[in-house]
Structure 1
């Protein structure tokens, strides 16, 4: 699913849109399979009688409630967690009913590092730490697929953004010294 274009500036493009590593939904899927098996087995164990339908309904309702808690909620959390890298900034959005987000301009990023445990290396995942200038402190993205590649991409995007800004300011300075009139350079 593409990131909504309405959240991007006119000259901004999405470079990479990520969700947490797919293994974060492994245990919820296992839980679903276990719940289906246990629910079916539990419903089959109920002896025949006048209350058999009620007891089976209780088993089904219990299985559905457990499925919502241990399957649906984790899957929705995975699906509604967005890590987006654009040509001008990085965006982080998370939340099902209430949302939390953070946008960091590439020009504010001072350092990008990644950490991988042995298991993370095996599954090609990891944690990205983004240090920024200012009061926001560091931002940590967890369970990032291809964390090594994402770290390199972020470093590349930060350098590209610095080059783009330098070229823009050099163009405005050149216009100023040549006496050309033009648009006023944007204040950043």
Structure 2
């Protein structure tokens, strides 16, 4: 899904657009399976009771609330979290009801580095750390293909606008 072009300046184009790594969805899927398993087990326990219909309705309501809270909300949060590198800036957007955003002009970036644990290396993600003119370095967790994003961002930061060199995006487009 491309970032909306109407939010970019006329000469600006998207180089990278990423959501957080899919590993953020492991716990929500786990909780979905747990809620369904426990709900099914409890529904089976009350099947022979005279008040089974009321218990099933209560279990369904509790199950739906838990699935919405533990599975659907994190999925929507993941889907609405964006990490974007354009030809002019780095942008981070997150939130559903309360949107927050951060823009860092490429000219203000002093250094770019990444970190990833053994598990992150196996899964192909990591933390991108951008040091800019601000006091604290900015950390972006769970960036997919963090090494490729790091090198591409480094090239974008150090690319001379007068050069004919235009690095390819991770999608293979120029």
TM-score, normalised with respect to structure 1: 0.82
Q: CA deviation at 1:55?
A: 0.7
Q: CA deviation at 1:2?
A: 1.3
5+ unaligned residues in a row in structure 1: which ranges?
Answer: 169-188
Deviations 1:16-37 (CA, angstroms, capped at 9, x unpaired): 1001111110121121122122
Structure 2 residue aligned with 1:36: 36
Aligned-partner SS, 1:48: coil
Does the alignment pair 1:6 with 2:6?
yes
Bigger radius of gyration: 1
Structure 1 residues 14-29: aligned runs within 5 Å? 14-29=14-29
- Considering fraction of residues, name the structure with more helix: 1
Structure 1 residue aligned with 2:148: 149
Query: Residues 136 and 104 of structure 1: is their aligned pair in 2 closer, same or farther, counting only changes over 3 Å?
Result: farther
Aligned-partner SS, 1:17: strand
Q: CA deviation at 1:138?
A: 1.8
Deviations 1:83-134 (CA, angstroms, capped at 9, x unpaired): 001111111001111011001110000000000111111111110100002x
Give the whole-Å Cα distance in 2 for the aligned partners of 1:90 and 1:61.
42
Where in structure 1 do 4 or more consecutive aligned residues deviate above 6 Å? none
Give the whole-Å Cα distance in 1 for the aligned partners of 2:125 and 2:28.
18
Structure 1 residues 1-188: aligned runs within 5 Å? 1-133=1-133, 135=134, 137-160=136-159, 163-164=160-161, 167=162
Aligned-partner SS, 1:63: helix
Q: CA deviation at 1:49?
A: 4.2
5+ unaligned residues in a row in structure 2: which ranges?
Answer: 164-174
Aligned-partner SS, 1:148: helix
Give the whole-Å Cα distance in 1 for the aligned partners of 2:148 and 2:140.
14
- Length, aligned pairs only: 163
Give the whole-Å Cα distance in 2 for the aligned partners of 1:30 and 1:79.
18
| Bigger mean CA offset, 15-24 vs 135-144 | 135-144
Aligned-partner SS, 1:62: helix
TM-score, normalised with respect to structure 2: 0.88
Aligned-partner SS, 1:2: coil
